[in-house]
Amino acid sequence: MNGSVPRHVAVIMDGNGRWARHRGLPRHAGHLEGMKAVRETVEGACATGVEILTLFAFSTENWKRPNDEIEALMGVLQTFARSERDNLVREGVAVRVLGELDRLDGSSRAAVRRIMDATRGGSRLLLNLLVSYGAREEIARAARELAVQAKDGVLDPEQIDTDTVASALYTGDLPDPDLLIRTSGEFRISNFMLWQLAYSELYITSVYWPDFTREDLFAAILDYQRRDRRFGRIVTG
């Protein structure tokens, strides 16, 4: 029992398609409905004092989905950026969008830029949206960056340690997630934050993402507070 509120919560938002199928709706209806769960989770994070919320919105592998589905997901990103902007500014939420953003279409890239610019001053909650993101690609990119620095003579290869690598990731300036939540009952990581999750507590719920509420977030946090985080040590006393 540690009793503390996780400082950084990460979520693999999964199950939009199945949520829609169970209702006889097209998949994009599930993606649209998923925005409500994002709102719930942001409010729940602010209410509990979580400092960083990282949401996996679109993976590198999701580019392999059919075009109409990709367009629907990018449409949801743009709608979210437009419809949530004032709420997020008022709540003091700063949005950062991380991933291979040069793969996005022009209007999605513009929406990303606008929401980041508009919310830059937020100091209550940092909301990271991982879009066109894959952990292996992120690590390869960090390796490339460090290799260039070594080649240019500004980095001594002998000095590269785990902190050097961590700081070259998209999340370089952030603490690792304390708690990872995955919805829709899938027990896998799906190329999400492979480096940063080394010691995160995992919480899997069968709830489909569009049905996820702040109460579900509170339940995950309560479960986290019962965990004994040992980080490889033994418990003394």
**Region binding Mg ion by CB under 5 A among candidate stretches 8-16, 37-45, 119-127, 221-229:** 8-16
Give catalytic status of residue 14 as yes or no. Answer: yes
Residue ranges that bind ligand IPE, judged by CB under 6 A: 12-18, 56-59, 62, 73, 184, 186, 188, 190, 209
Residues 6+ apart with CB under 8 A from 53: 8, 9, 10, 11, 41, 42, 45, 125, 126, 127, 128
Question: Pick from ligand IPE, Mg ion, none: which does 68 bind, CB < 5 to 8 A by kind?
Answer: none
Question: Pick from Mg ion, ligand IPE, none: which does 79 bind, CB < 5 to 8 A by kind?
Answer: none
The residue among 14 and 176 lying less far from Mg ion, judged by its C-beta, is: 14
The residue among 34 and 162 lying less far from ligand IPE, judged by its C-beta, is: 34
Hey, which residues does 126 pair with through a beta bridge? 52, 94
Q: What angle do CA 228, 233, 237 make, to 5 degrees?
A: 70
Q: Report, in Å, the least distance between residue 56 CB and Mg ion.
A: 10
Catalytic one among 2, 14, 67, 102?
A: 14
Tokens of 223: 């479960």
Question: Pick from ligand IPE, Mg ion, none: which does 149 bind, CB < 5 to 8 A by kind?
Answer: none
Rg over alpha carbons for the chain, rounded to the nearest Å, is 18
- The pair phi, psi for residue 158, each rounded to 5°, is -65, -25
What does the alpha-carbon distance between residue 208 and residue 34 come to, in Å, rounded to a whole number?
A: 9
What does the alpha-carbon distance between residue 236 and residue 157 come to, in Å, rounded to a whole number?
A: 38
Give catalytic status of residue 191 as yes or no. Answer: no
**Region binding Mg ion by CB under 5 A among candidate stretches 7-15, 93-101, 200-208, 209-217:** 7-15
Instruction: Enumerate the active-site residues.
Output: 14, 62
